Structure 1
Amino acid sequence: MPSASPSTDDPADFRVHVVAESIRLFAEQGYESTTVEQIAAAAGISRRTFFRQFGAKEDVIFADHESLLTAVSAHLAAGDDPWRVVCSAAELVFVHFRDAREMAVRRFRVVQEVPALRDRELVTTYRYQRLFEDSLRSRLPDESPVRLIGYAAAVTGAHNYLLRAMVRGDEDATLQRLRDELDHLRATFTGGAALGAVTVVTHSAEMSPEEIGRRVVEQLRAEQRDHGQ
Structure 2
Amino acid sequence: MPQVKTSARDRLVTAAFELFEEHGYDGATVEEIAQRAGVGRSTFFRTFGSKEDVIFPDHEAILARIKERLTTSAPETRLLAVAEGARVVLQHYLDEGEVARARYRLTSTVPALKAREISGLRAYQRLFTQLLSDWWSDEPNGALRAELTAAGVVTAHNHVLRTWLRGGTDTPERDLDEAMALVLDNQRPQTGETVETGETAVVVIGASGGIEAVAERVRAALAGTPPAPG
Q: TM class, shorter-chain normalised?
A: 0.7 to 0.9
Which residue pairs with 2:72 in the alignment? 78
TM-score by length of structure 1 reads 0.73
Q: How many residues align?
A: 185
Q: Is the 8 A contact 2:153 2:183 kept in 1?
A: yes
CA distance in 2, matches of 1:17, 1:125: 26
- Relative distance call for 1:162 and 1:119 in structure 2 (3 A) is same
Q: For residues 183-212 of structure 1, what are the alpha-carbon distances to aligned partners after superposition, in whole Å with 9 as ceiling and x for unaligned?
A: 22211233459xxxxxxxxxxxxxxxxxxx
Matched, 1:43 2:37: yes
Gaps of 5+ in 1: 9-13, 194-229
- Relative distance call for 1:25 and 1:91 in structure 2 (3 A) is same
Greater helix share, 1 or 2? 1
Task: State the superposition RMSD in angstroms.
Answer: 2.2
Structure 1 stretches (4+) deviating beyond 6 angstroms?
none
Task: Note the 1:134-173 alignment, pairs <5 A.
Answer: 134-143=130-139, 144-171=142-169
- Relative distance call for 1:138 and 1:19 in structure 2 (3 A) is farther
Which residue pairs with 1:177 in the alignment? 175
Which residue pairs with 2:205 in the alignment? none
Q: Is the 8 A contact 1:36 1:47 kept in 2?
A: yes
Q: Bigger relative contact order, structure 1 or 2, given CA contacts below 8 A and separation 6+?
A: 1
Q: CA deviation at 1:43?
A: 2.4
Which residue pairs with 2:220 in the alignment? none
CA distance in 2, matches of 1:43, 1:79: 40
- Amino acid of the residue matched to residue 145 of structure 1? A
- Amino acid of the residue matched to residue 126 of structure 1? R
User: Which protein shows a greater Rg?
Assistant: 2
CA distance in 2, matches of 1:162, 1:59: 24
TM-score by length of structure 2 reads 0.73
How much identity, in percent, do the aligned residues show? Answer: 37
CA distance in 1, matches of 2:73, 2:39: 38
- Relative distance call for 1:4 and 1:172 in structure 2 (3 A) is closer
- Relative distance call for 1:157 and 1:20 in structure 2 (3 A) is farther
2:60 equivalent among 54, 59, 66:
66
Q: CA deviation at 1:19?
A: 2.6
1:124 equivalent among 97, 111, 120:
120
Gaps of 5+ in 2: 192-230
The SS at the match of 1:62 is coil
The SS at the match of 1:60 is coil
- Amino acid of the residue matched to residue 129 of structure 2? E
Q: Is the 8 A contact 1:68 1:93 kept in 2?
A: yes
- Amino acid of the residue matched to residue 50 of structure 2? A
- Amino acid of the residue matched to residue 97 of structure 2? R
- Relative distance call for 1:146 and 1:20 in structure 2 (3 A) is farther
- Amino acid of the residue matched to residue 168 of structure 1? R
CA distance in 2, matches of 1:59, 1:142: 39
Task: Identify the range of structure 1 (124-133 vs 43-52) with the bigger mean alpha-carbon deviation.
Answer: 43-52
Greater strand share, 1 or 2? 2
